[in-house]
A and B are shown apart, each in its own frame.
Chain A
Amino acid sequence: MTIQLQREGRWLALVTILCLALAACTGETGASAAGPSSAPASEEASVEPEPDELLVLEWAGYEAEDFWVEFAEANADTQVDFEFGANDADILAQMQAGSQADIFHFYTGWQQFYVDEGLVREIDTSKLANWDKVPDEMKALGQVNGKQYYVPWDWGFTSILYNTDHVAEVTSWDALFNEEYAGHISMWDDGPAAVTVSAYINGWDETAITDEQLAQIEADWIEQKPLNLHYWDSEYENLCPEVISGDIWVAYAWQGCYATALYEGVPVAYANPEEGRNSWVGLYGISATSDSPELALEFLDAKLGEMSCGNAVTLFYYGCANADVMAAIDDETLIEAFAINDPGVLETTNFTPPVTAEQRDAWTAMWTRVKAE
């Protein structure tokens, strides 16, 4: 009887597996079934009452209510849940795989993919009360094919953060390759970032990297590998603590860590490389398959409010798209971190350009090989 039971059990298990596998291979996800949508968020609202809940696909840390405080106060009964992506590729992958998120958050360079794959719906900016406070340059970063698909929110610089006790003035991105600081350098664990840095150093156009240039970039970063203490992947988990402790002297860093280190009294400086700093902007999109587009729009408008934006500045030391909030900054450390008193910095800053899917895949694969080497 035991043998028969085992045999029948095996059949049951096999049937279950086959059913699951078949469903996985032939089924259609909500995202793929919905197809592209360019309808403004507001047009599809009035047919049925929207669910009183939102799901936001976010980066860890941004779920704190401090960053959507106006919405929370105005919608006390609305349930806001968060799912997390580890990076831009992960967030795109989750949306492609049919995430049920109403809102997703990503950074400049990745705007085109969501539009091309019909994952995002157009924003009706007339419904955003705070839209006038957003600088035109940032609004433009949220546009694809002449349409506004994204709401810009957080922004900042990328440059070389260095400890002035151990490092003389840094004037170029090549400080990351300086053997003098071996064991005390930290590069961000990101392929496109590595390509950007190499393009700056070599004077190449980062939007037109050739195969030969990419091979050179790969060789350079493999050679640079032993100089790192580690590659960091979380600014506040494994970059800032070690900048503050003095273990990291030279790092690819955002200005948030610079401000954090300054507040901690660490002797650090944030370079103005001759090649120019880099700048990035965080963008929010509303999913094409969202059941709550109006609520999502309200959420994004509230995020542009003074309290939410102000908290991004004072808690994360990130810039925010509300120009009134940025203009009101009077803290000396933050003024220094955002280079508010030095307009020349912005004039030489390189804004992150869009990348193609092929570039994204090739650069990420290159970085995987660098790490595996």
Chain B
Amino acid sequence: MLGRRAFLRVLALPPYLWLAALLVAPIVLVVLISLRPEPGPVDFGDPWNPSLIQYWRILETPAYLRQLGISALMALIVALAATVLAYPLAYFLAFRAGDRASLYLVLLLVPFAVSFLLRVMAWRLMLGQEGALNTLLQSVGLTDEPLDLLLYSREAVVLTLIYVWVPFAALPIYAAMGRIDRRQLEAAADLGAGPWTRFVGVTLPLSLPGAVAALFMVFIPTVGEYVTPRLVGGSETYMYGQLIQDFFGRAASWATGGAAAVIMLVLTAVLILAGTLAVRTRVAT
């Protein structure tokens, strides 16, 4: 019969195997592929001659690096906007919704019942030349003809991504606010703090970890986003995720695509590390 320790080991095994096989191993595989000297599709029977030439191919091309910078900047804008917009939503759920909080939370999650692709496609209908926004602008006399810039532009990508991520960003903030001990707010009120002071002095700092988590949760997937720019971005909006996809697909250059993916992974990790350190420093001071 299994002892308690062995039983716990057995219990822990499936999640460890799951993570190792489906999260860590693919990343290791991408790193290994990126070290192959030949750019083409990988034949695992080939001899193993690791090289950094694929990394050099990315790093020596200014257009690729610029795309990485633009994508990171767009992801930051989307993450900041989604977090800021999600914050009052989460605040309402945590402090104002009362008994109906559960109902509103379910309503908040309703968009997730619809496929990501469909939600993005819906924005094509909204932003198109004959879409809802252009029709509205013309009907109220603000414009004489459809605005071209609404669809197939960088702005359209940012707008669509913000819409997609707001409900998602609200969840960690709501969770952080739910953990705030209401007695601290009462104590602040007893000490004469008004609503604004209570918010700035108690609610905001205690909910900050949730907001930071939301920021990262939106930022990380947005850097590598390729579906949304493909659908609403147009020829002038090309994101780094599309570059990686093109290397693996159109160019059949798996090794170059692997190197591009690893570079993005490292950059994202560095930015997140820097962000985390900055927040910790601020909280500590």
Which residues of A come within 8 Å of B, CB atoms?
A: 1, 4-5, 8-9, 12-14, 16-17, 20-21, 24-29, 32-33, 86-87, 89-90, 92-93, 96-97, 183, 187, 189-191, 225-226, 228-231, 233, 238, 245, 247, 361, 364-365, 367-369, 371-373
Q: Which residues of B contact A (CB under 8 A)?
A: 5, 8-9, 12-13, 16-17, 19-21, 24-25, 28-29, 32, 39-45, 48, 61, 63-64, 66-67, 128-130, 148, 152, 230-231, 233-236, 238, 242-243, 246-254
Interchain residue pairs with CB less than 8 A apart (28): A5-B9, A5-B12, A9-B12, A9-B16, A13-B17, A14-B20, A17-B24, A20-B21, A20-B25, A21-B32, A24-B29, A24-B44, A25-B44, A29-B45, A32-B43, A32-B44, A87-B249, A90-B252, A93-B254, A183-B148, A245-B130, A361-B253, A364-B252, A365-B253, A367-B250, A369-B64, A371-B242, A372-B64
A5 contacts B17, C-beta separation under 8 Å? no
Complex CA distance for A190 and B251, rounded to whole angstroms? 10
- Tell me what chain B mostly uses at the interface: helix, strand, loop, or mixed: helix
Q: Of the candidates B16, B32, B42, which one forms a contact with A13 in the assembled complex, judged by CB atoms under 8 Å apart?
A: B16
Closest beta carbon of chain B to A100's beta carbon, Å: 15
Contact B250 A368 (CB under 8 A): yes
- Report Cα–Cα, A29/B234, bound state, in Å: 39
Q: A225-B235, A364-B251, A368-B243 are in contact. List 5 more A-B contacts (CB 8 A).
A: A12-B17, A13-B24, A190-B250, A191-B251, A365-B251
The answer to whether A96 and B63 have CB atoms under 8 Å apart is no
**Residues from chain B with Cβ under 8 Å of A92 in the complex:** 41, 252
Tell me the smallest distance from the CB of B218 to a CB of chain A, in Å: 24
Specify the chain B residue showing the minimal Cβ separation from A363: B251
In the assembly, what is the distance between CA of A33 and CA of B46, in Å? 11
Residues of chain A lying within 8 A (CB to CB) of residue B42: 97
* Complex-state Cα separation, A4 to B40, whole angstroms: 43
Asked whether, in the complex, the Cβ of B45 is within 8 Å of the Cβ of A33, the reply is yes
**Residues of chain A within 8 A of B128, CB atoms compared:** 245, 247
Partner of B21, one of A16, A28, A225, A245: A16
B5 A1 Cβ-Cβ under 8 A = yes
Among residues of B, the one whose C-beta sits closest to the C-beta of A9 is B16
Give the Cβ gap from B202 to chain A, nearest Cβ, in Å: 33
Contact A372-B243, Cβ < 8 Å, known A13-B20, A20-B25, A25-B32 = yes
Do A12 and B16 touch across chains, with their CB atoms under 8 A apart?
A: yes
Query: Bound complex: CA of A25 vs CA of B50, how far in Å?
Result: 11
- The reply to whether B243 and A96 form a contact with Cβ atoms under 8 Å apart is no
**In the complex, chain B residues whose CB is within 8 Å of the CB of A27:** 44-45
- Bound form: Cα–Cα A8–B242 in Å: 39
Give complex CA distance A190, B249 in Å. 11
Complex-state Cα separation, A28 to B20, whole angstroms = 22
A191 to B247, CA, bound (A): 12
CB nearest neighbor in B for A191: B250
* Residue among B24, B63, B129 making CB contact with A373, cutoff 8 Å: B63
Is B8's CB under 8 angstroms from A371's CB?
A: no
